[in-house]
Amino acid sequence: MVFILISILLPILSGAFLLISKEKVFDLKRTCIYTGFVLVLWLVFVTVSVFTPAGPGEVLALNEYLVLYFAADKTGKLFAVIMAIVWVLAGFYSFEYMKHEEETKRFFGFYLTVPGALMGLCFAGNLFTFYAFYEFMTLLSFALVLHNRTRQALMASLKYLFYSFAGAYMVLFGLYFTYRFSTDKTATFLYGGIIDRANAPEGILMISMLLMILGFSVKGGMFPMHGWLPTAHPVAPSPASAVLSGLIVKAGVLGIVRVIFYIFGSDFFAGSYVQTVCLILSITTVFMGSMLAYREKVLKKRLAYSTVSQVSYILFALFTVNETAFEGAMLHVAAHACIKSALFLCAGSIIFITGCTSVDELRGIGKKMPVLMWCFTIVSLGLIGIPPLGGFTSKWFICVGALKSGTGVFSILGPAVLLVSALLTAGYLLPISINAFLPGDKFETDAITAGATGSAGSRYHAYQVAKEPGRMMLVPIIILTILSVLAGMFPEVML
């Protein structure tokens, strides 16, 4: 329990100290050294927390119902390991990326505090603890979206906050009735559910369950609660976009797992109208997100719509309430965290070096940035679902589980939509790599001519200025790429 508390408090207190410290004490170099040391130390404590047996424990009781209570079950441990590894890699990437940004001390201060809240979610042992850290995470991550303080960043951060609070209020509605009809007065998570259904009206329980799932789906980006994702990602610094898309959205997934399997029970959810509604919304989101990504020309916004689609793969698998599909969902949590974080970091590197934000401006840059674009291509293939990469393994489990789920038309419709989405994913990711490496026979000659005539604003501008990013940015991307491959080749390690 001590290690769990340290993994929660260390980044929060370290980030708070950085935020209140004076600017002259922490220049960029000292801030990066301090942040790197804290992140590595935090990763060590998270690892110890995951692999050291520890019993549950009560930390603080506000009253007999509202108790801060932590426990480390296998579900929480899996999310904790994934979040810690990706968060640290994106943090080291940001040391070079943030050189062209202002207010770096403030950025790293909030960047340190958010993972403490995420660990509070992973190790939360009851509903009140989970809800408290969920709200805390929203308020802290809000600052990452707002960082640039432009009008676009302000409007995007307010949109993110509005959606998040709307979701939180829906969860709060369900929380009231959960405590009212819980077999345990502190609403401690228990696999199979904690609701006393014999003494509770089924109608209000169904409404509560639906609202809690929809509330947590805001972070997961499920339609119709997805609107903040494509707005927030383009304006946030790329390291923040990477963790928002790869990790923050998984907080919503974890919340839905807790609601279905640990509060109400999968047998109560299965066969209900709530399951039908959730399956319809998740399948709709898978197709809609892929189609919007296919039509989008702004690179980071395309990746944001892709996240909307890909996270709903996970949600669809959870809603089928099938063991094989659940395994696929957990595999996709890991694979998507690595793949999508790598994609956003690649996009950030391209923007950092060339200043280009549209996919139409990236023609030929693979010749100048081969390592970066190969990483982009490999993780893109993983997201499409090409074996033996992580995305293929997870999607295989999801489709097999859906076919065996006995959910009627959804057992066929779900895999069919996932296949169509995979084709659309290929359609919006592979052309970027193809045009980057195979721009055409005359492209390089035209690019040289354009450079000689000073056509800095031409379509060849990115090619003229492109070069490989520095090691501090490139190494985390390579590591995430390798992890995405290993997730597909050795899924039994997580299973």
pLDDT per position as a tens digit, 330-378: 999 999 999 999 999 999 999 888 888 888 888 888 888 999 999 999 9
- Evaluate if residue 458 carries a pLDDT over 60: no
Q: State residue 22's pLDDT score.
A: 81
If you average pLDDT over each of 110-119, 137-146, 237-246, 348-357, which comes out highest? 110-119
- Asked whether the beta carbons of 122 and 80 are under 8 A apart, the reply is yes
Q: Calculate mean pLDDT across residues 122-137.
A: 93
- Evaluate if residue 494 carries a pLDDT over 90: no
Could you give the C-alpha distances from 79 to 120, 254, 296, 489, in angstroms and in order?
11, 8, 31, 20
Integer-rounded Cα Rg, in Å, for the chain is 22
Q: Calculate mean pLDDT across residues 60-71.
A: 87
Q: State residue 343's pLDDT score.
A: 95
**Burial class (CB within 10 angstroms; exposed 0-12, middle 13-18, buried 19+) of 172:** middle
Angle at 49 between CA 45 and CA 51, to 5 degrees: 115
The token duo for 10 is 């260390």
Percentage with pLDDT > 70 across the chain: 95
When pLDDT is cut at 50, 70 and 90, the band that residue 493 belongs to is confident
> How many Å apart are CA 111 and CA 385, to the nearest integer?
31
359 and 259, same domain (yes or no)? no
69 and 175, same domain (yes or no)? yes
3-class DSSP state for residue 185? coil
Q: Where are the beta strands (DSSP E) in 171-221?
A: none
Q: What are the φ and ψ backbone dihedral angles of 306, each rounded to 5 degrees? A: -60, -40
- Evaluate if residue 453 carries a pLDDT over 70: no
Q: State residue 454's pLDDT score.
A: 46
Please provide the distance, in angstroms rounded to a whole number, between the alpha carbons at the two ends of the chain: 25
Q: Which of 221, 237, 269 is the last residue of a domain?
A: 269
**Residue type, position 427, single letter:** G
Cβ contacts of 428 within 8 Å, gap of 6 or more: 290, 293, 294, 296, 302, 306
Q: Calculate mean pLDDT across residues 206-232.
A: 90
Q: Which of 269, 301, 316 is the last residue of a domain?
A: 269
Structural domain count of the chain: 2
- Asked whether the beta carbons of 314 and 391 are under 8 A apart, the reply is no
Do the domain assignments include residue 73? yes
265 and 291, same domain (yes or no)? no
> How many Å apart are CA 368 and CA 360, to the nearest integer?
16
Least confident range of 391-405, 406-420, 448-462: 448-462
Do the domain assignments include residue 97? yes
> How many Å apart are CA 340 and CA 128, to the nearest integer?
30
When pLDDT is cut at 50, 70 and 90, the band that residue 232 belongs to is confident
> How many Å apart are CA 318 and CA 334, to the nearest integer?
15
Do the domain assignments include residue 279? no
Could you give the C-alpha distances from 188 to 67, 156, 202, 238, in angstroms and in order?
9, 35, 21, 37
Do the domain assignments include residue 281? no
Q: State residue 442's pLDDT score.
A: 67
Q: State residue 456's pLDDT score.
A: 46
Do the domain assignments include residue 278? no
Angle at 374 between CA 369 and CA 379, to 5 degrees: 135
226 and 312, same domain (yes or no)? no
413-429 pLDDT per residue, tens: 999 999 999 999 999 99
When pLDDT is cut at 50, 70 and 90, the band that residue 87 belongs to is very high
Q: Which of 240, 269, 298 is the last residue of a domain?
A: 269
Q: Calculate mean pLDDT across residues 169-198.
A: 90
88 and 178, same domain (yes or no)? yes
Could you give the C-alpha distances from 457 to 273, 366, 425, 432, 469, in angstroms and in order?
55, 19, 30, 20, 22
- Domain holding 376, by residue range, is 286-495
Q: State residue 463's pLDDT score.
A: 67
Q: How many other CB atoms are there within 10 angstroms of residue 309's CB atom?
A: 27
Do the domain assignments include residue 40? yes
Least confident range of 37-46, 243-252, 366-375, 451-460: 451-460
Angle at 477 between CA 474 and CA 483, to 5 degrees: 145
Q: State residue 452's pLDDT score.
A: 47
> How many Å apart are CA 346 and CA 409, to the nearest integer?
39
Comparing C-alpha atoms, which of 93, 9, 82, 87 is closest to residue 45?
9
308 and 198, same domain (yes or no)? no
Do the domain assignments include residue 275? no
Please provide the size of the chain in residues: 495
Comparing C-alpha atoms, which of 248, 234, 89, 87 is closest to residue 148?
234
Average pLDDT, the chain: 89
Q: Calculate mean pLDDT across residues 459-469.
A: 73
Q: Which has more confidence, 492 or 209?
A: 209
